[in-house]
Amino acid sequence: MSKPSTEPGWLHRDDERSRTLRLLFVAIIGSPWLLLLDPAREVTHPAVTAAAVVLGGLCGIGAILGLADVDDGELDDTIAVVGTLAAITVGTVVVWVVVPSSYLSAVVQFAIAFTWAAVTTQILRYRIG
């Protein structure tokens, strides 16, 4: 009988390829889920939707390239969780203050564009670099 492998799979490893596959998995699973939401299927104004998609794409590319050289191995887990939750909270408050309520459906389009731009950038960085 062969012994079961004790080496972690792609989901648990901490290398570039595994991080890229996890990000792709989140995009593939998350996009249809986001599109099932009622506001995502409603286009308020084509210019607002286009602006949300372009801004989401640019932010996704900026996030991947900006965090490319950050070594998170030295970061304490508690600080990482608190920092992430604080960033999400601040981002949510900014969205609610800046975006008018009639254009909130564009936020979902922003999120989808952000996710796919980040995935595409990460794949290109992994393949080229």
In this prediction the pTM is: 0.75
Alpha helix (H) residue ranges in the chain:
16-36, 46-66, 77-98, 105-128
Is 60 exceeded by the pLDDT of residue 80?
A: yes
Domain span holding position 63: 17-67+100-128
What is the domain count for the chain? 1
Name which residue leads in pLDDT, 69 or 91.
Answer: 91
Q: Does residue 58 sit within a domain?
A: yes
CB 61 within 8 A of CB 122: no
Q: What percent of the chain has pLDDT over 90?
A: 17
Q: Does residue 79 sit within a domain?
A: no
Number of residues written out for the chain = 129
Q: Does residue 6 sit within a domain?
A: no
Q: Does residue 78 sit within a domain?
A: no
Q: Does residue 77 sit within a domain?
A: no
| Direct distance between the N- and C-terminal alpha carbons of the chain, in angstroms, rounded to an integer | 40
3-state DSSP assignment of residue 73: helix
Is 80 exceeded by the pLDDT of residue 85?
A: yes
Q: Does residue 114 sit within a domain?
A: yes
Query: Residue for token digits 């992430």?
Result: 84
Q: Does residue 24 sit within a domain?
A: yes
- What residues contact residue 30 under an 8 Å CB cut-off, 6+ apart? 115
Q: Does residue 5 sit within a domain?
A: no
